[in-house]
Amino acid sequence: MPLTSSVSEDGKVVTIAVSGRFDFNLHREFREAYEQAPAEGVRYVVDLAGTEYIDSSALGMLLLLRERAGGDQADVEIRNCSPEIKRILTISNFHHLFKIS
């Protein structure tokens, strides 16, 4: 399964894990994963440990998640990026918009 999501017991942390290709084919699943949580007061973690490829549509999906999570007040962390994906996120200036670890 290329995308899995889970919500912490207290409902305050939504973790979305993507494996393989993070591209437009995951658009619907990715949106459904974050729409299950309340729009405010939730911390989001996008775990890219198993992600091999990311394209511009995935960057757009991350921006939509950030917007839903509160824009500039959003608490969204992108974690476990490969060096290549981290480079793409940095070139796209996503390190100014997200916590990247």
| In the chain, domain spans | 3-100
pLDDT at 89: 97
Provide the β-strand partners of residue 17: 4, 47
Q: With 0-12 CB in 10 A as exposed, 13-18 as middle and 19+ as buried, what is 61? A: buried
pLDDT for the residue 17: 97
Q: CA–CA distance from 21 to each of 29, 57, 63 (Å)?
A: 13, 11, 18
- Name residues whose C-beta falls within 8 Å of residue 59's C-beta, 6 or more positions apart in sequence: 88, 89, 92, 94
pLDDT in tens, the chain (101 residues): 799 999 999 989 999 999 999 999 999 999 999 998 876 789 999 999 999 999 999 999 999 999 999 999 889 999 999 999 999 999 999 999 999 98
Task: Name the superfamily (CATH) of residues 3-100.
Answer: STAS domain (3.30.750.24)
